[in-house]
Amino acid sequence: MKFARYSINGRSPKIGLVTENQLIDLSNVVPSMQALIALSADGLAMVQQHAASSQSIPLADVKLHAPLLPRRNVMCLGLNYAEHVRESLTAQGQTVDLPQFPVVFTKATTAVSGPTDPIPYDPQVSESMDFEVELAVIIGKQGKNIPVEQAMEYVFGYTVLNDITARDLQRQGKQFFKGKSLDGSCPIGPWIVSRDALPHPHDLNIRCLVNDVEKQSSNTRHMIFDIPATIAYLSRGMTLLPGDIIATGTPDGVGFARTPPEFLRPGDVVHSIVEGIGEMKNVVTAV
């Protein structure tokens, strides 16, 4: 199943079930995506039953919003594709060593935006805005010290995320938070695909295009730390909550590691695509 947050004519966002090019309103069943994620298997079956007898809306007639507003910071993995490790460390003149443990940072909740929302560009803040397409995992139930063997049971579903990064701000500090957390620097969407509808998350093509030119192209099978290993690591001594968003890292091809470096500018159109989920289209917009 594909679940979205949508609105019509500027009204308050509702929850919907996406089927083909149609959307079925679920607002009479669940008030929010968090409430949907909290449902049991029986609850999701009820949602399906409701959808079967409900009228659909053309998807083209709605605005899609970020499918989930996180209750706390988005958890992100850095350097989780070997080729991205090589390009990143080489560009910084460092020795190329693959990480032994996941490299974790977070993005503020206020960075989250929707699949067609603008990416704000303010040269007074940063002139080094970079693109990083990623597969994002949505946690479905609370857990702590989760064994690797059981980790996938804690996944509700998946979405597309772009970890837009202000590289200059990222380098100014000794951690990533500021450069990763500008408003509008975390577009996600276009919807959440439930775990059962995407049975092979470690074999998905993942791409990013800027102005229709392909910049990143890889497959999730090239992750250094897969989804179960990531969930087990993050949950060690730390409780994961339903609705938590985990960004699993970006493949190679990012702007700062190119020769010469390529950064986003107003008017650029960023397409973020993950096979089996969908795509986002965000325009870099001067503010």
Same-domain pairing of 21 and 111: no
* 8 Å CB contact between 241 and 72: yes
Q: Within 10 Å of residue 62's Cβ, how many Cβ atoms?
A: 20
Q: Does 53 score more than 90 pLDDT?
A: no
- Residue 218's pLDDT is 97
Q: Where are the beta strands (DSSP E) in the chain?
A: 2-7, 14-19, 22-25, 56-58, 63-65, 74-78, 103-107, 112-113, 119-121, 129-130, 133-139, 155-162, 165-166, 186-194, 205-210, 213-219, 245-247, 269-274, 278-286
Average pLDDT, the chain: 95
Task: For strands 155-162 and 103-107, give the pairing.
Answer: unpaired
Least confident range of 79-93, 114-128, 132-146, 237-251: 79-93
CATH code for the domain in which residue 100 is found: 3.90.850.10
Reading phi first (left if > 0) and then psi (alpha if -120 to 50, else beta), residue 42 is in: alpha
- Residue ending a domain, choose from 31, 65, 99: 65
- Digit-coded pLDDT (tens) for 249-286: 999 999 999 999 999 999 999 999 999 999 999 999 99
Structure tokens at 189: 């969407």
**What is the spatial order of strands in the sheet that 278-286 belongs to?**
119-121, 278-286, 269-274, 205-210, 213-219
Q: Would you state the pLDDT for residue 185?
A: 98
Residue 124 and residue 8 in one domain: no
Q: Please return the burial class of 230, using the count of CB atoms within 10 Å of its CB with bins 0-12, 13-18 and 19+.
A: buried
Domain count, the chain: 2
Task: Give CA–CA dist 269/265, Å, rounded.
Answer: 9
Say which residue the tokens 């659909």 belong to: 56
What is the percent of the chain where pLDDT is above 90? Answer: 85
Residues 56, 89 share a domain: no
Q: Which residues of 6-25 are buried (b: 16+ CB within 10 A; e: fewer)?
A: beeeeeebbbbbbeeeebbb
Tell me how far apart the terminal alpha carbons of the chain are, to the nearest angstrom.
Answer: 36
Question: pLDDT-derived band of residue 231, with 50, 70 and 90 as boundaries?
Answer: very high
Residue 195, pLDDT score: 96
Pairing relationship of beta strands 269-274 and 205-210 according to DSSP bridges: antiparallel
Which of 45, 65, 85 corresponds to the end of one domain? 65
Query: Given the DSSP bridges, would you call strands 205-210 and 56-58 parallel, antiparallel or unpaired?
Result: unpaired
The stretch 73-79 carries a mean pLDDT of: 97
49 and 150, same domain (yes or no): no
Q: Which residues, including other chains, have CB under 8 Å from residue 122's CB and lie 6 or more apart?
A: 286, 287
Domain hosting residue 175, numbered range: 74-286
Do residues 148 and 232 lie in contact, with contact meaning Cβ atoms separated by under 8 Å? yes
Mean pLDDT value across residues 206-225: 98
Same domain for 50 and 80? no
Residues 78 and 47 in one domain: no
Q: Do residues 59 and 145 both lie within one domain?
A: no
Rounded CA separation 255/257 (Å): 6
Q: What is the pLDDT of residue 120?
A: 98
Of 33, 65, 97, which residue constitutes the final position of a domain? Answer: 65
Q: What is the percentage of the chain residues whose pLDDT exceeds 70? A: 100
Which helix (DSSP H) or strand (DSSP E) does residue 42 occupy? helix 41-52
152-180 residue pLDDT tens: 999 999 999 999 999 999 999 778 999 99
Residues 8 and 89 in one domain: no
Q: 247 or 83: whose pLDDT is higher?
A: 247
* One domain for residues 127 and 179: yes
Q: What is the pLDDT of residue 43?
A: 83
Sign of the dihedral through C-alpha 212, 191, 60, 114: negative
Q: Are residues 237 and 136 in the same domain?
A: yes
Same domain, 106 and 55: no
Instruction: State whether 138 and 175 are in the same domain.
Output: yes
Beta bridge partners of 197: none
